[in-house]
Structure 1
Amino acid sequence: MMRIFLFLATNLAVLVIASITLRLLGVDRYTGTNYGSLLAFCAVFGFAGSLVSLFISKWMAKMSTRTEIISQPRTRHEQWLLQTVEELSREAGIRMPEVGIFPAYEANAFATGWNRNDALVAVSQGLLERFSPDEVKAVLAHEIGHVANGDMVTLALIQGVVNTFVMFFARIFGNFVDKAILKNEDGHGIGYFVATIFAELVLGILASIIVMWFSRKREFKADEAGAQLAGTSAMIGALQRLRSEQDVPVQMPDSLTAFGINGGLKNGLAGLLMSHPPLEERIEALRRRG
């Protein structure tokens, strides 16, 4: 129920912000041949969704995963967690992020936030219970690597760009089918809407492949950062432990999966839409790195 509410609230915010922006720009209406206005229209909606999600990412993460922020440590484990994140953040050159624990049996962690100095790093209860201190530190270092590299902002911008061009080219294709093929001269007919929806579905899949390719590249970079901060052997050990638990289903919300330590396991064509590369490839990359 909470995820449905968050989804509806986010989309409502996107519509309101996009509508206001379009009116201020004077491009709330466009014709089929006014490609400048069409591109501006698509850019506003394309970036609105990704940027709104970015700015409220911490709030959404806390609500959707039921993450409990550690403001005052109550146990020595929480004290160690805060001290470790503080140490890693200082070494990475970023401000200390908020630190939290979310109730999940799966071994996972995530980082989110709209900029590198206002972030959230959280780990699952299962990870804390089953991983060694060195492995937990390596996982935290991986997430700090995401923050220090600015991956949240970069991925949001890339998503905004691909959203823009998916909408733009889908509408051009719809207009072509409607006017050139169906010879409709009276506004947008049914052919325009059917062709546009079809094009958005096809282009949306291709755009997702591009975004997920970039996300997989970011995982290798975050692993390297984790190895630099916590040690290569510790980072490899954490990934090997994750590999041993691959049968446990990943329960992270889709909006956070790209910044988790574990993105699940899929092969073949489905692997093109995965946010994380296979753990074997990540381990081998760290071994080659030395």
Structure 2
Amino acid sequence: MNFFRTALLLAGMTGLFMAIGYMLGGSGGMMIAFIIALGMNVFSYWNSDKMVLRMHNAVEVDARTAPEYYEIVEKLAAEAELPMPKVYVIDSEQPNAFATGRNPQNAAVAASTGLLNRLTYEEVAGVMAHELAHIKNYDILTMTVTATLAGAISMLANFAFFFGGSRDENGNSNIFATIALMILAPLAASVVQMAISRTREYEADKIGAQICGQPLWLASALAKIANAAGREVNYTAEENPSTAHMFIINPLSGQKMDNLFSTHPNTQNRIDALQALQAEWYGGEGPLTVSNGGTMGANQRRSQMQQGHDDGPWGGGTARANRPSRDDEPEGPWG
């Protein structure tokens, strides 16, 4: 399904690219845009992940340079039965993360320094499990290609002014068409990436909770990230807004409205869904209040999270839905 969705996306983006080319240069401009679009489709499929990582100045790390972070990803990848992805760090105070790549064999995860410094070990695990869920679902191909093509369409629309605007039937510059082009083309690209983002985040939250075995780890992390995203500026994301849909929380603002023009679902709705999952799996044990930014102390949070039934790669159990309470199983490394 994700491959079909990606193919449909590429076709739609190509059509939009050709329409912009026609408005800029008539039939000749449309043919040039078609050739460019074909080249971009091939290039974006094979290289869009590298482009996105480069946009955010991501630096690759390993078990020696970032041992705890790398260990988290390694354990979770094994639990999810995925190949070990490449691991990157982004130098940004805003806590956030994303995954990229064209398939699980060529995937990468990236976390900001703000996320690694501010979140607990458990919360980082929840976030990385979410990102691995995107890899497992092949969401990363659609997400990464969309980021590349949406950015290119927005850039092409901005070129309208430099080429004298679009032309009417007499070959005269049409400033109204140019203005419409500059507004509607980026908007069309944004609507596509928004539509992709909203539904897949809920599914990645659920599968991520299955991978790590603790829905509340991710719930607590989401509250912290959302609370900081509205105050901390992610400069590389601001410079490359077409990649905003790739992050676990919208890096451009702390939006709380669930509407067509938000790149992510409402954060509190996601937290509520994770808490419902916690109640389903563990009979409502260990409720965690995270709607106010996850302000409880680390020790209290850790105690509520574990509750004697740690699972996934730290508790020896197998991550799966509808899991029973496991009070008799060994605790994780913090117990």
Q: Structure 1: which 5+ residue stretches go unaligned?
A: 1-17, 23-30, 168-173
Query: Could you say which residue in structure 2 is the equivalent of 1:116?
Result: 104
Say how many residue pairs are matched: 238
Q: Structure 2: which 5+ residue stretches go unaligned?
A: 1-13, 19-24, 157-164, 281-335
**One-letter identity of the residue aligned with 1:131:** L
Correspondent of 1:85 among 68, 73, 84: 73
Query: Could you say which residue in structure 1 is the equivalent of 2:245?
Result: 258
Helix, strand or coil: the match of 1:213? helix
Correspondent of 2:139 among 139, 151, 164: 151
Spell out structure 1 runs of 4+ moving beyond 6 A: 31-34
Query: Could you say which residue in structure 2 is the equivalent of 1:56?
Result: 47
Query: Could you say which residue in structure 2 is the equivalent of 1:8?
Result: none
**One-letter identity of the residue aligned with 2:220:** G
Query: Could you say which residue in structure 2 is the equivalent of 1:103?
Result: 91
What's the CA shift for 1:43? 4.7
| CA RMSD, Structure 1 to Structure 2 (Å) | 3.7
Query: Could you say which residue in structure 1 is the equivalent of 2:183?
Result: 201
Q: Are positions 1:223 and 2:205 aligned together?
A: yes
What's the CA shift for 1:229? 0.9
Distance 2:189 2:113 in 1: 34
**One-letter identity of the residue aligned with 1:257:** A
- Return the TM-score normalized by structure 2: 0.58
**One-letter identity of the residue aligned with 1:221:** E
Query: Could you say which residue in structure 2 is the equivalent of 1:190?
Result: 173
**One-letter identity of the residue aligned with 1:266:** Q
Correspondent of 2:193 among 205, 208, 211: 211
Q: Taking structure 1 as reference, are residues 138 and 47 closer, same or farther at Cα in structure 2, changes over 3 Å only?
A: farther
Q: How does 1:5-24 map to 2 (within 5 A)?
A: none
Distance 2:226 2:121 in 1: 18
- Return the TM-score normalized by structure 1: 0.66
Query: Could you say which residue in structure 1 is the equivalent of 2:225?
Result: 242
Q: Taking structure 1 as reference, are residues 109 and 51 closer, same or farther at Cα in structure 2, changes over 3 Å only?
A: farther
In 2, are the aligned partners of 1:110 and 1:256 still within 8 Å (CA)?
Answer: no
Q: More helix per residue: 1 or 2? A: 1
Q: Taking structure 1 as reference, are residues 255 and 90 closer, same or farther at Cα in structure 2, changes over 3 Å only?
A: farther
Helix, strand or coil: the match of 1:110? strand
Q: Taking structure 1 as reference, are residues 63 and 208 closer, same or farther at Cα in structure 2, changes over 3 Å only?
A: closer
In 2, are the aligned partners of 1:158 and 1:211 still within 8 Å (CA)?
Answer: yes
Q: Deviations over 1:165-193 (max 9, x none)?
A: xx9xxxxxx99x944xxxx4xxx4434x8
Identity %: 28
Distance 1:54 1:92 in 2: 24
